[in-house]
Amino acid sequence: MANITKKRIAIIGAGPCGLSQLIAFKQAEKEQRIELICFERQAEWGGLWQYTALTGIDPCGELIHSSMYRHLWTNGPKEMLEYVDYPFEKHFGRAVSSYPPRAIMYDYIIGRATAADIHKFIRFRTAVRFVNFDVNTKQFHVTIQDLLNEKILEHLTFDHVIVATGHYTLPNVPNFEGISKFPGRVLHSHDYRGADEFVDKNILIIGGSYSAEDIGIQCYKFGARSITISYRSFPMNFKWPDNIKEVPMLIRMEGHTAYFKDGTSVDNIDCIILCTGYRHNHSYMAEPLRLYCSGNLFIPSNLYKGIFWSPELRLAYLGMQNQTYSLNMFDIQAALVRDVFLGYVKLPDDDDEKKREEDISQWQAREQVIAANDHEGFTDLQTDYIRDIVSCCDQNTVPKFDLERAKAGFYKFFNDKREDFITFRDQTFTSIFPPYNEAPPCQIKWTKNMDDSIEGYLSSIKTT
């Protein structure tokens, strides 16, 4: 095929979503149908799964991307996110238990990318600064900055752009009366790097979601004196150990004392960790292309099938929804982007913006009636969403797994947490695609497991 017919495709970000997209496009690139470039502002791939001890700004003056911390274990079973074409067992050469630590996840994610030989498509230390669209030429103009070589700006054109920049980096930092005068340490979960500095401390955590529960339990595991978790909407209501308690919303701080909405107070707070979530930031997109997403939604506005920018369907956003499913959902989204951009399938209503909006609105209406603490409800919604996008893909190539098994796996996971939050990571799960293997248990209970290295973790798995 002559070069002139090649479509030029840009991917922004080499985190899990960008890597899924590169792998999905690899075959078409080999067949010389497309030119493929992925821009990544960090020095390495893997997105958030790369751990760095740094907080604030990196050596190139960029905001530190990752919100990962030491001793982070996955907060859901690995079976529910496993790549269909690349099982954990294939990567590690042995069966892996259901809740691995971050290092295992990182090794697994970049292991698949390495095996797929996609490193060559990535321009590292290159930040995308601006993306615009020319409605006459139907071309995207992408302005990039080389962060290593004197920061020269370059302008490139593309037929398609895929945004895969993540949305768990920019902290959402609410203000509370008296917090600016609090004499102890205040940080957001984005800057939390481990529990060591909180040993013997009285901690106040603000937030009632995954960061609050995980940082709270980790501080407990490593020896914090007391942990008070202040929620806004709903208590998590887990059976916490004695030195963790949940209280309603923080009203004000006075010195080291925290006052809550129910009139109670806690003295001697040493540090406050804001686990108040993250904000989307797509300021590098020109206004008509920019996704605005307040909060953490399962169905963001303007994204047809949760992916395609409506009205300009040549632009896609990957992984922008709140995630019950993660890696395996990114693979399916990437498959649909490939199929649509290369003309392998036609999207329903690709020529009717009104119908697309109706489709988005129907999904949003469904999300709106799910209570914020109804995890099963959100799982049902995202399971149906995946079923919908799978049905739009080329059926011969879309990665498939058993959605009913996945849903049942998530339900079991939520039950395990409710039954005993301290032991839920000791449970095992069955794979959601053939041959449906049951994971072996980890011999060291999670509360006692202080070794989050790959070697330490693998050696603690019982194999028969």
Beta bridge partners of 317: 163
Among 14, 34, 275, 316, which residue interacts with ligand NAP (rule: CB under 6 A)? 275
Is 25 strand, coil or helix? Answer: helix
Residue 81 interaction partner, one of ligand NAP, ligand FAD, none, beta carbon < 5-8 Å per kind: ligand FAD
For residues 286 and 365, which CB has a smaller minimum distance to ligand FAD in the complex?
A: 286
Triad 191, 289, 369: Cα angle to 5°: 70
Q: Which residues lie below 8 Å from residue 456, measured CB to CB, with a gap of 6+?
A: none
Site for ligand FAD in 109-138 (CB under 6 A): 127-128
Residue number with CB closer to ligand FAD (157 or 268): 157
Q: Which does 372 bind (CB under 5 to 8 A by kind): ligand FAD, ligand NAP, none?
A: ligand NAP
Helix (H, G, I), strand (E, B) or coil at 304: strand
319 contacts which partner out of ligand FAD, ligand NAP, none, CB within 5 to 8 A by kind? ligand FAD
Q: Which of 32, 157, 233, 397 binds ligand NAP (CB under 6 A)?
A: 233
CA atoms of 142 and 37, how far apart (whole Å) = 12
Q: Are 213 and 421 in contact (CB under 8 A)?
A: yes
Contact pick of 29, 62, 70, 74 for ligand NAP (by CB under 6 A): 74
The residue count for binding ligand FAD (CB under 6 A) is 31
Per CB under 6 A, 211 contacts ligand NAP:
yes
State the DSSP string of 372-423: TT-HHHHHHHHHHHHHHHHHHS-TTTS----HHHHHHHHHHHHHHHHH-TTT
Token digits for 422? 């301290």
Beta carbon of residue 142, minimum distance to ligand NAP (angstroms, whole number): 28
Residue 131: contacted member of ligand NAP, ligand FAD, none (CB under 5 to 8 Å, by partner type): none
409 interface partner picked from ligand FAD, ligand NAP, none, CB below 5 to 8 A per type? none
Neighbours of 55 (CB within 10 A): 16
14 binds, among ligand FAD, ligand NAP, none (CB under 5 to 8 A by kind): ligand FAD
47 binds, among ligand NAP, ligand FAD, none (CB under 5 to 8 A by kind): ligand FAD
Token output for 274: 């804001």
Axis crossing angle, helix 403-419 with helix 375-392, rounded to the nearest 10: 160
Q: How far is the CB of 34 from ligand FAD (least distance, A)?
A: 20
The site string for ligand NAP over 79-118 (x = CB under 6 A, - otherwise) reads ----------------------------------------
CA gap 463, 444 in Å, rounded: 13
**Given 3-state DSSP classes, what are the helix, strand and coil percentages for the chain, each rounded to the nearest 5?**
30, 20, 50
Question: Rule CB under 6 A: is residue 148 a binding residue for ligand NAP?
Answer: no
Site for ligand FAD in 299-358 (CB under 6 A): 319, 323, 326
**Residues 6 or more apart from 392 whose CB is under 8 A from it?**
305, 336, 339, 345, 347, 348
Query: How big is the site for ligand NAP, counted in residues (CB under 6 A)?
Result: 23
- Chain centroid to CA 286: how far? 24
In terms of CB distance, is 13 or 216 closer to ligand FAD? Answer: 13
Least distance to ligand FAD from the beta carbon of 353, Å?
A: 26
Residue 24 contact partner, candidates ligand NAP, ligand FAD, none, CB within 5 to 8 A by sort of partner: none
78 touches 98 (CB < 8 A) = yes
Using CB under 6 A as the binding rule, whether residue 382 contacts ligand NAP is answered as no
- List the 160-163 sheet strands across, edge first: 122-123, 34-39, 7-12, 160-163, 315-317, 308-309, 303-304
Looking at the Cβ atoms of 29 and 107, the one nearer to ligand NAP is 107
- Candidate list 57, 134, 153, 174; residue touching ligand NAP; CB under 6 A: 174
Residue (86 or 424) nearer to ligand NAP, CB: 424
8 A C-beta contact, residue 306 and residue 385: yes
What separation in angstroms does the CA of 453 have from each of 243, 368, 427, 456?
Answer: 28, 41, 20, 5
Q: Coil, strand or helix: which one is 158? A: strand
Partner in contact with 79, chosen from ligand NAP, ligand FAD, none, beta carbon below 5 to 8 Å by kind: none
Chain residues that interact with ligand NAP, rule: CB under 6 A: 72, 74-75, 168, 172, 174, 189, 206-212, 214, 232-233, 275-277, 296, 323, 372
